[in-house]
Amino acid sequence: MVIDCHVHVAATEPHGRMSARLQASLPFQFMQWRLGLRGTEAEKERALAEHLAQLIAAAPRLTAAVVLAFDAVYNELGMLNVRETHLHVTNDYVMDLVRQDRQMLFGCSVHPYRTDAIAQLERCVAGGAVLCKWLPNTQGMNPSDRRCFAFYEALAHYKLPLLSHTGGETSLPTIDRSVADPMLLKPALERGVTVIAAHCGTRSKPFEPDYVPQFVRLARDYERFYGDTSALNLPTRWYAYGSVLSDERVRRKLIHGSDWPIIPVPPPGRVGVGAALELMTETNWLARDVRIKQMLGFDAEYWNRAATILRLP
């Protein structure tokens, strides 16, 4: 079973929210243009989900993909912060999507500061969630905050992995850049949670802090610590391949993810210019991401690791 553990959808009322700032941003405008999304916001929402389903079905190596919900921002008192919420994709919306498509899996998202966080997590577990997704930079949470500890204990109890963004973020507005360090996830590991560090702590643009060394250290030291390869096929993140592929202990901790609808770009320095140009003709971005990683030499264990970590039958 080859699982892409990291793909996104967007939503609008009543399924979520996209702020005016997000919709006006260059990355969001480019994504809409590149995917040919037109019409009302509801029509774009539906077209994006339908396009994703078609790509998963047409990607020859993929068995399924984890579609990620995205919880709203909550403040330190557990209150909803609409002003800072630029993307919201409800758990109910993603649950409905995956019920309609056997090749989609439910990745829930629950903000740990919510007063009802554990109750929401339990509802998602009952709804078939295979992991819980966080993006601390954008959702306004510190993974080392004591407010997260009870949530970690619930994740460990239900054996639900935590997929948490690490490193830089440019696709969405950020609230706190200081929470990008993978080391902040140590309290989760110490409480028995299986943690998947999205993007392996990489920079999203030059001159940002680089957390790949911290990712490598945790991957060596903690049995339940993994990293997904989502968005590593962006030019700003190519540099990480040298670190994560050269260390055999770290290679054994890598999990397949694409970060769709991020557009994967093959690294010419590693696959060759001719191969890179040929790969760019692959219009199915999920399939392109797979093909790039095949050319980079990812082994059979890598392709099957997500299914094992997510405890899929």
Q: pLDDT tens digits, residue range 206-260?
A: 989 999 999 999 999 999 999 999 999 999 999 999 999 999 999 999 999 999 9
104-108, strands of its sheet edge to edge: 3-8, 64-68, 104-108, 131-134, 162-165, 195-198, 225-228, 254-255
Question: Scanning the structure block, which residue is given the tokens 């901790």?
Answer: 253
pLDDT digits (tens, 9 = 90+) for 48-60: 999 999 999 999 9
Whether residue 195 has pLDDT greater than 90: yes
**Residue 39, pLDDT score:** 86
Average pLDDT score over the chain: 95
Find the DSSP H helices in the chain.
Answer: 20-24, 26-35, 41-58, 91-99, 117-126, 136-139, 149-158, 186-190, 212-221, 240-246, 248-251, 268-271, 273-279, 285-295, 300-309
Q: Which residues, in sequence order, are CB contacts of 188 under 8 Å at separation 6+?
A: 143, 148, 152, 155, 162, 164, 195
Distance from the first to the final alpha carbon of the chain? 10
**Residue 276, pLDDT score:** 97
* pLDDT classification of 310: cutoffs 50, 70, 90: very high
Q: Which residues, in sequence order, are CB contacts of 158 under 8 Å at separation 6+?
A: 121, 122, 125
Read off the pLDDT of each residue in 274-300 and give the average, rounded to a whole number. 97
* pLDDT classification of 149: cutoffs 50, 70, 90: very high
- pTM score, whole prediction: 0.96
Q: Alpha-carbon distance 40 to 67, whole Å?
A: 22
**Residue 284, pLDDT score:** 97
* pLDDT classification of 264: cutoffs 50, 70, 90: very high
